[in-house]
Amino acid sequence: MGKLRIIAACYAIALLGAASLNYIPGLTDDQGRAFGIFALDIYDDSLHVASAAWAAIAAWLSNRAAKNFLLYFGVLYFGDGLLGLITGSGYLDLGIINYGIQDLPFGFKILANLPHLALGGFAVLSVFLFRKEVA
């Protein structure tokens, strides 16, 4: 199994973990925010489960499928994180439509969007680092 397939499989596990955050006792505060930072709703959970399924299928299929997943997923999630930094709402969970531009402290925006920026950025970076795996 190539490195890109292993990375995609790890993304499937990480995304399922993200989808489960609301359901693990002690990880949410009294306002339903995971780690006291962000509130995950049905849109977020659906997005994470669908992304995990995409990652798992890509990892199972081939290096090319894993590369495509990591590239497209990375661009989508990194873009969502950037929009979240600018507006306080992302587009993948329909936050920009449901909540519009939010006036939040910049430090909070960084913490809330760091997962998407990191996951998206690493996914795209891994495609370039291991591009020779896909001929």
Question: How much is the pLDDT for 37?
Answer: 61
Contact (Cβ atoms closer than 8 angstroms) between residue 80 and residue 120: yes
Please report which helix (H) or strand (E) contains residue 130, including its range. none
Determine the average pLDDT of the residues in 64-91: 96
Does the structure show a pLDDT above 60 at 26?
yes
Q: Does residue 135 surpass a pLDDT of 60?
A: no
Answer left, alpha or beta for residue 32, where phi above 0 means left and psi between -120 and 50 means alpha. left
Residue 105, phi-psi category: left (phi > 0), alpha (psi -120 to 50), beta (remainder): beta
User: What's the pLDDT at 32?
Assistant: 62
> What integer is the mean pLDDT of 55-68?
97
Q: Where are the alpha helices (DSSP H) in 1-131?
A: 3-20, 42-61, 63-87, 95-98, 106-129
- Give the model's confidence band at 130: pLDDT under 50 very low, under 70 low, under 90 confident, else very high: very high
Instruction: Report the candidate in 56, 108, 117 with the shortest Cα–Cα distance to residue 82.
Output: 117
Task: Render pLDDT for 94-123 as a digit per residue (tens, 0 to 9).
Answer: 889 988 999 989 988 998 899 999 999 999
pTM, entire model: 0.87
Residue pair 80/114 in contact (Cβ under 8 Å)? The answer is no
Residue 78 predicted with pLDDT over 90: yes
Radius of gyration of the chain (CA): 15
Residue 36: what pLDDT? Answer: 60
